[in-house]
């Protein structure tokens, strides 16, 4: 699985420029790195991972298939979105379908680009969107509580559990805190996710800075980083204009351009990696002469569930997973020498898959 990240932001913060750079970059990638536009505002991009190229080189794989990440360019937000102002209803529905929110914040000065609020203040912009999401959640929670009242009077256990969780969310929201600040017990996590509250989504703040600040950030992006750390969220610095320029260059030209700007890698690569860290995702690999392929799973996933990402039959009929650590596979020169050196392990149903594991699943049909 990949994951879906919604790109949100106030008008004129560089959100669409960033999304357009993403889609052009993806469209320019080789056939092994597929891009598709599902809808005009949805794009899938390959997740960059140098390990996959190395594995393919060692195994002489004919095809390289990276894992993918979906970006959704969500309609611009204005105050009152929680009440349907602007494209508010569409905005809220699109966020609900995403795993995380990439909140693009304007951290650059430009007299030619008007800010909808007449000032450049990324922290205030973040508060505007957070407030709209909290208001929408509060309205949703109150509506659901009213609808559950009859079932609660009848002693319905599932309804009672829902009410308990909804009331916990309501208490936080009434205090002006997002629902993600609520401490949820492990046994309640699935039910909590099913509530689909907007403010439970983790947030990645994307600080859109002027080109000269792309490598170091600026005063405004530093304010955002401080805010993100206090919230337990993440922040990344990007110049959407630089990303737009890179998207129109070939690989060699793009690398030269990045070096001239004092950057080690494209901002979009940093954005994807930060998103993975935010959602506690990791990658395992399947490697052979036909293809080398990356698969994304949540950290802590057991071997049978990791196999199920490939196909449900792999999980249902799971026997064991032949596993080689990435470093062993590379240093020893492939599957056969790793096996001969005793570095291939037979792991069972209780094995917790590690990031970078090279795996082959055995299963009953």
Distance CA 67, CA 65 (A): 7
Q: Of 34, 119, 111, 32, whose CA–CA distance to 69 is shortest?
A: 34
Please compute the mean of the pLDDT values over residues 96-120 and round it to a whole number.
77
92 belongs to a structural domain: yes
**DSSP conformation class of 247:** T
Please compute the mean of the pLDDT values over residues 290-299 and round it to a whole number.
95
**Domain termination site, one of 154, 181, 199:** 199
Please compute the mean of the pLDDT values over residues 308-337 and round it to a whole number.
96
Give the position of tokens 């699943």: 361
Residues 192 and 206 in one domain: no
311 belongs to a structural domain: yes
Residues 114 and 156 in one domain: no
Q: Name 316's bridge partners.
A: none
Residues 7 and 94 in one domain: yes
Higher pLDDT, 27 or 74: 74
Looking at residue 239, what is its pLDDT? Answer: 92
Q: What is the DSSP string of 316-337?
A: HTEEEEEEE-HHHHHHHTSHHH
Looking at residue 24, what is its pLDDT? Answer: 66
Query: Which H or E element spans position 192?
Result: helix 189-194
Looking at residue 2, what is its pLDDT? Answer: 57
**Global confidence as pTM:** 0.80
Looking at residue 80, what is its pLDDT? Answer: 55
**Domain termination site, one of 278, 312, 328:** 278
Per the structure, the complete domain to which residue 110 belongs is given by 3-48+67-119+202-278
Residues 222 and 355 in one domain: no
Distance CA 241, CA 258 (A): 13
Looking at residue 69, what is its pLDDT? Answer: 84
For the cut 80, the answer to whether the pLDDT of residue 91 exceeds it is no
**Domain termination site, one of 223, 245, 278:** 278
Residues 30 and 111 in one domain: yes
Looking at residue 120, what is its pLDDT? Answer: 82
User: How many domains, the chain?
Assistant: 3
Higher pLDDT, 150 or 84: 150
Distance CA 186, CA 231 (A): 21
187-204 residues labelled b (16+ CB within 10 A) or e (exposed): eeeeebeebebbbbbbbb
Distance CA 293, CA 312 (A): 17
Residues 235 and 111 in one domain: yes
For the cut 90, the answer to whether the pLDDT of residue 60 exceeds it is yes
58 belongs to a structural domain: no
């Amino acid at each position: 699985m990949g994951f879906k990240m919604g790109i949100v932001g106030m008008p004129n913060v560089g959100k669409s420029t960033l999304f357009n750079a993403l889609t052009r970059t993806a469209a320019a990638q080789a056939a092994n790195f597929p891009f598709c536009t599902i809808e005009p505002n949805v794009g899938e991009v390959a997740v960059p991972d140098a390990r996959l190229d190395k594995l393919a080189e060692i195994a002489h794989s004919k095809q390289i298939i990276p894992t993918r990440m979906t970006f959704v360019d969500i309609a611009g937000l204005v105050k009152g979105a929680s009440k349907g102002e602007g494209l508010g209803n569409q905005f809220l529905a699109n966020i609900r379908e995403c795993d995380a929110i990439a909140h693009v914040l304007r951290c650059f000065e430009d007299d030619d680009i008007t800010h909808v609020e007449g000032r450049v203040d990324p922290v205030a912009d973040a508060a505007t969107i957070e407030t709209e999401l909290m208001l929408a959640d509060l309205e949703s929670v109150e509506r659901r509580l009213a609808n559950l009242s009859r079932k609660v009077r009848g002693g319905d256990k599932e309804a009672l559990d829902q009410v308990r969780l909804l009331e916990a969310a309501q208490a936080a929201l009434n205090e002006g805190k997002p629902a993600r600040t609520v401490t949820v017990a492990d046994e309640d996590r699935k039910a909590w996710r099913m509530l689909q509250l907007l403010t439970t989504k983790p947030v990645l703040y994307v600080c859109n800075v002027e080109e000269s600040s792309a490598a170091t950030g600026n005063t405004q992006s530093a304010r955002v980083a401080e805010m993100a750390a206090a919230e337990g969220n993440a922040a990344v610095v990007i110049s959407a204009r630089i990303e737009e320029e890179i998207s129109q260059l070939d690989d060699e030209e793009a690398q030269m351009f990045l070096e001239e700007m004092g950057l080690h890698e494209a901002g979009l690569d940093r954005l994807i990696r930060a998103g993975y860290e935010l959602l506690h995702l990791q990658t395992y690999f399947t490697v052979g002469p036909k293809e080398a392929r990356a698969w994304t799973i949540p950290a802590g996933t057991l071997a049978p569930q990791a196999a199920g990402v490939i196909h449900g039959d792999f999980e249902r009929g799971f026997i064991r997973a032949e596993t080689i650590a990435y470093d062993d596979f590379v240093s020893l020169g492939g599957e056969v020498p790793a096996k001969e050196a005793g570095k291939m392990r037979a792991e069972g149903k209780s094995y917790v898959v590690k990031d970078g594991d090279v795996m082959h699943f055995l299963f009953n049909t």
